[in-house]
Structure formats: C-alpha cells, structure tokens
Amino acid sequence: MLFDRAAQIVEQGGVTWKDAFHFLYATWENADAIVTTDSDLIKAGAKFGHTYPIVMKPSAVRGKAMRTPEFYKDMFSTS
C-alpha cells in the first residue's frame, strides 16, 4: 500500500519518489506543513494545491512562529 500510494503521488504531481514519500508521511501524520530548504520539494508542493500539506521555507515559518514564543524558541534557538 505504501509504495502504491507513493506511485500515485509521483504520477499525479510528476514529483520524485523521495518527495512523494515526504508528502505521504506528512499526510499520514496530519501535518499542517512541510518545512524545508529543498527547492524541488517546494516547487512540487505548489503543484498540489490543497491536496497535501503546504510546503514552506523556514523563513516563511519564522514570522508566523514569532506569535508563539515557546514554539519560536524551540524551532529557531541556536543554543
């Protein structure tokens, strides 16, 4: 089932197998977003619209995370 669903994602979006597994896992875990610096994955996310979790750069998340200080600290703290 896992590989069949990933194959469907590859076919639907013309994405790589690696990216298909990212979308699949994020969907199964009910993620709101995939945060990545992988430009190919970001482009792939734009192809799907609202079918799968959105794909965002860390910089896009940073501004939103500032509204929740604890989350911001956990996500972006360098210490």
The answer to whether the beta carbons of residues 19 and 46 sit under 8 Å apart is no
Residues 50-70 have pLDDT tens digits of: 889 999 998 888 888 888 888
Q: Which amino acid type is present at position 52? A: Y
Whole-model pTM: value is: 0.74
Residues 6+ positions from 23 with CB-CB distance below 8 Å: 9, 13, 15, 34, 44, 45, 48, 52, 53
The pair of three-digit structure tokens given for residue 79, joined into one six-digit string: 């210490």
pLDDT at 79: 62
Residues 28-39 have pLDDT tens digits of: 999 989 999 999
Q: What is the DSSP letter of 40?
A: H
